[in-house]
Amino acid sequence: MTTSVRRVIIIGAGAAGLAAARRLREHGIIPIVLEARDRVGGRVHSVPFPDKGCMLNLGASIVHGAEGNPLTAAIEAAPDISMIPFASNVVIPRPGAPPMSVDDSNRFIEAEAEALESLRPPANPKQGGDSIADLIHPALAQVAAKYGIEAELMRCNIDAIVSQYADDLDKVSSRQLFDVGEFEGGDYMVLGGIWGALHAFAGDAVVSSVRLNHEVTHITHSGADVRVRTRQHGELSADAVLVTVPLGVLKAGDIAFEPPLSTRRQQAIARQGFGVLDLALLEFSEVFWPAEADYLVTLRPSDVTDPAVLNDLLPRDAVPFVSYTTVMDRPLMLCFLNAGLGVQLEECTDEEVAGLFERHLKRYFPHASSTRPVRCRISRWLKDPYAHGSFSYFSVGGDGLGNISALAAPCLVAGGASSDISSPIQADQDHPSNAPALFWAGEHTHELYYATVPGAMLSGQRAADEILAHFGQLPL
């Protein structure tokens, strides 16, 4: 059977778009990949810091679980990139107090993990009407009593897990504790930059083919093909278009669709959460924190009431840091700027941020000769016009998995209106479809590993398979 060359456009060159482009190329389709930024990688963003000899991450930065994780496989296959397991935690319970020992800190964090684990089904069959905050505090109190831990410190430290959800826990549905996939294994820091691993995974042919500075503004999918209009480079057409832009871009309405997206998809876009997790890379003149720590967290319990002290502290109950000292022998830290803290610091210059960290850290390390970073750089994902935030989460009261299903479903035009169709598409090699279609990928479209780079990669592969099935080239 003779088949015509199929034209595919992929919008977005992040993890999902690159994974889809690689899969399509493996099956003989060379897609056009459009990227609004002047770089490839999307929210996977590695930068030289503090110098060209050191690549650190301002986007995705931690690998959660190694076994079966496609990101782990990509890292292992990439040159000069490695994963280092987190082994030593250090908790500083309040300003001016000595740090807990590594053993006590590890037990403290393990107790908190036990409290979170106690909320999983069948112990708690809640369906999403409650927030994580509604459920976690009674569990923390029980675990604190069980192990003789100061309950107020556990209450503070739970603020650190906001980095897993990108928004405050009273906004995140409790279903996110349950309806999420986890790879086996611990957590790892990545040396050499995650972007290098993603580049190696996608391959030079895919990466070099990306058309940079191509910002898409309109998609029309009502005619014989799908037409994609860009702000700078005119209009392109294709038989199928894969949309992999972040959920924040869809929420902002930065791309106009004609005909409009289905009501179901528009509701899912509105209802699914999309939060902010910024990162700050910090270089100091010397190491003044416990040198053995991989992970460090400063706590602000409610008994800290001195206005002068509070004025110097960053406004979170827990401020978590990753220390690179143990693996790089350099005075470098990464700080997670959770939710409102990230939003606040995005309004500051890097110099102003350095001053805030100087004051905060001086309260926890009063004997340090200097706590001012000599170099500081933060990510500013909320202000990024091609992201509008960091990653998705389940909002309180929302149908998280139902939203993902709606966001992932391909859509065709039927009767002049955009109509979602079930995913996956059934392939028919003898009767391939000629109908133009929109397909969707990104971390916000993966039902098991949403809000992660592995989820984005897997969603791109799934969407590529849907496109191939639509063309009758690959049975799913």
pLDDT digits (tens, 9 = 90+) for 400-433: 999 999 999 999 866 566 666 654 455 445 555 6
Distances (CA, A) of 201 to 108, 185, 322, 451: 37, 21, 26, 20
The per-residue b/e assignment along 214-228, b for 16 or more CB within 10 angstroms, e otherwise, is bbbeebbbeeebbbb
pLDDT at 432: 59
CATH 3.50.50.60 for domain 8-43+195-273+394-470, yes or no, is yes
Counting every residue written for the chain, the total comes to: 476
Candidates 3.30.43.10, 3.40.190.10, 3.40.50.720, 3.90.660.10; CATH matching 87-185+277-378? 3.90.660.10
**Cβ 17 vs Cβ 242: under 8 Å:** yes
Q: Tell me the mean pLDDT in the region 169-179.
A: 90
Return the number of other C-beta atoms located less than 10 Å from residue 414's C-beta: 12
Instruction: Report pLDDT for 1.
Output: 38
pLDDT of 53-81, one tens digit each? 899 999 999 999 999 999 999 999 998 89
Contacts of 211 (CB under 8 A, 6+ apart): 32, 33, 34, 35, 233
- Which residue bears the tokens 């170099």? 375
Task: Provide mean pLDDT across the span 168-191.
Answer: 90
pTM exceeds 0.85, yes or no: yes
Cis-peptide into 79, omega within 30 deg = no
- How far is it, in rounded angstroms, from Cα 172 to Cα 180? 13
What are 130-169's pLDDT values in tens digits?
A: 899 999 989 999 999 999 999 999 999 999 999 999 999 9
Residue 78: what pLDDT? 93
CA separation for the pair 114, 110 (Å, rounded): 6
pLDDT of residue 123: 47
Please report, for the chain, the start and end positions of each structural domain, with discontinuous segments joined by +: 8-43+195-273+394-470, 87-185+277-378
How does pLDDT run across 11-41, given as a tens digit for each residue? Answer: 999 999 999 999 999 999 999 999 999 999 9
Measured CA distances, 405 to 172, 269, 272, 361, 382 (Å): 19, 11, 11, 44, 25
Calpha distance 243→408 (Å, rounded): 10
- Is the bond preceding residue 259 a cis peptide, omega within 30 degrees? yes
